Amino acid sequence: MSRMSRAVNGAKGGAPEGGGLLPNIRSLSLSSPSKHPATDPSSEVCPVCKSGTYLNRNMRFLVNPECYHKMCEGCVDRIFSHGPAPCPIAGCNRTLRKAKFRSPTFEDLKMEREVDIRKEVASVFNKKQADFETLRDFNDYLETVEEVTWNLILDMDVEETRERLRKYREAQKAQNSSTTRRALDHSQASDKRKGATQRKALDVSSGNTPEPFATNREDTGFSFRGLIKRKTPEPPKSFDPFDGWSIQPQYHILQDKYDVGWMTAAGKDANHSAGGYSMPAFYSQVLCDAFSGFGVFVEDEIKARETQASMDAGVGTRNAAMAAQGTKDVNMDDVF
C-alpha cells in the first residue's frame, strides 16, 4: 500500500515533466557499466563528480528508481547523507533519498526502469491461465496487461493508468479478503468468539447473494472476460494420517479363535502365555504372511521399473550440471 501511494504521488508529481523523463533517460550515456573495468576502461565516468574507473577501479555506480540517473557511490554518500536532496543532474529536479539508491541489474538503464514497472504491474495483475475459462480470454488478458505496462513505460496517460491500477488493486484486495473470510467462516475454528461477524457473513454466503463488490464493478478499473468464479475452498477435514488407506486385511478375515489341535493346546499352555505369547497376534501374523501377497502383480512392477530409466533424465541433467561446475567428481582418470 505504501508503495502504491508513493507511486501515485510520484505520478502526480512527475506528470508535468513526465514527458521530459524519458528523453532524459535516453540522453544518458548507456554504455557498459562498471563491472568490466578491463574491457572498457575509459568510458565509465560519474556524471556528477567526473571521476572515472580509470583512476578508481572499484568504483560502483548507483541509480535511484525515481529518475534512474546514474552516479557513483561517493557522490551518493556526499549528497544524500544528510537527508533527501534534489538530483544533481541538470534538469532533473526530483527529490531523492539515499535509502532508495541501489546498483543497477541491467546494463541498459531503460531496461532497469522497465523491469521495475513490470514488477509493479505484475504485483497487481497476477492471474493465471487456470483463472480463465478459455485460453483466448487468458491471452486477451495478457495483452491488456502488456498494454498497461507499455503505457507506463512510454509515459502515456500515466496518471489515468495508475488510477485505474489503484482501483483494480483495491477491488482485488476486497475480493481476496472476502473469499478468505468466507473460507474461514466455513471452518469450525471461529465459532463463538466472533459470533456476530460470523452471523453476518453467513447471511451473505448462505443467501448466495451477488458478491459484495459486484455492485460497483465499473469502479474496478479493469474488467476481464471469461474469469472463472472463485469458489470458496472446502473447509479442511479432520486430519487422517493414513490418508484414507485402511490397514484392515483385504483378502482374509481374522477370527478370534482357530480350532486346530496343536494350536489350541499351545494356547492353553501356561508356559507360552507366561512367556508373553498371545495367540491372536500369532494368528494375525500367520494369516498376513499367507495372504499379503495377494493383489501384488509382478508384471506391473517390472513395467514400472522399466519406465523408471527414462524418467531419470531429470536426475541426469541435474547431476550433469554439478559435474560441469566441478562440484561433483566425475571419474575421468585414466580409463585403462
Partner 1 sequence: MKFFIDELPVLFPYPRVYPEQYAYMCDLKRTLDAGGHCVLEMPSGTGKTVSLLSLIVAYQQFHPEKRKLIYCSRTMSEIEKALAELKALMQYRTEQLGYEEDFRGLGLTSRKNLCLHPSVKREKSGSVVDSRCRSLTAGFVKEKKERGEDVDVCVYHDNLDLLEPHNLIPPGVWTLDGMLKYGEQNKQCPYFTARRMMPYCNVIIYSYHYLLDPKIAERVSKELSKDCIVVFDEAHNIDNVCIESLSIDLNEDSLRRATHGANNLDRKITEMKATDAEKLQNEYAKLVEGLREADEARDENAFMANPALPDDLLKEAVPGNIRRAEHFVAFLKRFIEYLKTRMKVLHVISETPPSFLSHLRELTFIEKKPLRFCAERLTSLVRTLELSNIEDYQPLQEVATFATLVATYETGFLLILEPFESATATVPNPVMHFTCLDAAIAIKPVFERFSSVIVTSGTMSPLDMYPRMLNFSTVVQESFTMTLTRKTFLPMIVDRGSDQNQITSQFEHRNDPQVVRNFGNLLIEFCKLTPDGVVVFFPSYLYMESIISMWQGMNVLDEVWKWKLILVETPDAQETSLALETYRTACNNGRGAVLLCVARGKVSEGIDFDHHYGRTVLCMGVPYQYTESRILKARLEFLRETYRIKETDFLSFDAMRHAAQCLGRVIRGKDDYGIMVLADKRFGKKITQLPKWIQMGLDQKSQKLSVDQAVSQAKAFLREMSVPWSRHEQEGHSSWNLEELEAHQQKKKLEAITGTENPVARRMEGRADAMEIAEEDEFGGHGMDDVMADLDD
Phi, psi of 238 (to 5 degrees): -65, 150
- In this chain, which stretch among 21-29, 31-39, 188-196, 256-264 interacts with partner 1, using CB under 8 A? 31-39
Range 136-195, binding partner 1 (CB under 8 A): 136, 138-146, 150
d(CA 103, CA 311): 42
For partner 1, the closer of residues 77 and 301 by Cβ is: 301
- In this chain, which stretch among 43-51, 56-64, 256-264, 320-328 interacts with partner 1, using CB under 8 A? 320-328
For partner 1, the closer of residues 135 and 290 by Cβ is: 135
Q: How far is the CB of 326 from partner 1 (least distance, A)?
A: 7
Residue of the chain from 9, 103, 105, 197 that contacts partner 1 (CB under 8 A): 105
Contact in structure between 197 and 182 (CB atoms under 8 Å): no
Q: Does 26 bind partner 1 (CB under 8 A)?
A: no
Please state, in angstroms and as integers, the Cα–Cα distance from residue 188 to each residue in 177, 185, 226, following that order: 18, 7, 33
For partner 1, the closer of residues 289 and 306 by Cβ is: 306
Contact in structure between 119 and 152 (CB atoms under 8 Å): no
Q: Does 103 bind partner 1 (CB under 8 A)?
A: no
Per-residue binder mask for partner 1 (CB under 8 A), 118-137, x = binder? xx--x------------xx-
Q: How far is the CB of 52 from partner 1 (least distance, A)?
A: 19
Q: Does 326 bind partner 1 (CB under 8 A)?
A: yes
Residue of the chain from 2, 27, 39, 271 that contacts partner 1 (CB under 8 A): 39
Q: Does 299 bind partner 1 (CB under 8 A)?
A: no
Nearest CA to 7 out of 173, 120, 156, 144 is that of 120
d(CA 51, CA 48): 8
Q: Does 264 bind partner 1 (CB under 8 A)?
A: no
As a whole number of Å, the CA-based R_g of the chain is 34
Residue of the chain from 2, 16, 38, 271 that contacts partner 1 (CB under 8 A): 38
Q: Does 334 bind partner 1 (CB under 8 A)?
A: yes
Q: Does 292 bind partner 1 (CB under 8 A)?
A: no
Q: How far is the CB of 329 from partner 1 (least distance, A)?
A: 10
Total binding residues toward partner 1, as defined by CB under 8 A: 53
- In this chain, which stretch among 9-17, 75-83, 197-205, 298-306 interacts with partner 1, using CB under 8 A? 298-306
Residue of the chain from 6, 173, 230, 328 that contacts partner 1 (CB under 8 A): 328
> CA geometry: angle at 76 spanning 70 and 79, to 5°?
120
Q: How far is the CB of 223 from partner 1 (least distance, A)?
A: 16
Q: Where do contacts with partner 1 occur on this chain (CB under 8 A)?
A: 35-36, 38-39, 105-108, 111, 114-115, 118-119, 122, 135-136, 138-146, 150, 302, 305-306, 309-310, 312-326, 328, 330-332, 334-336
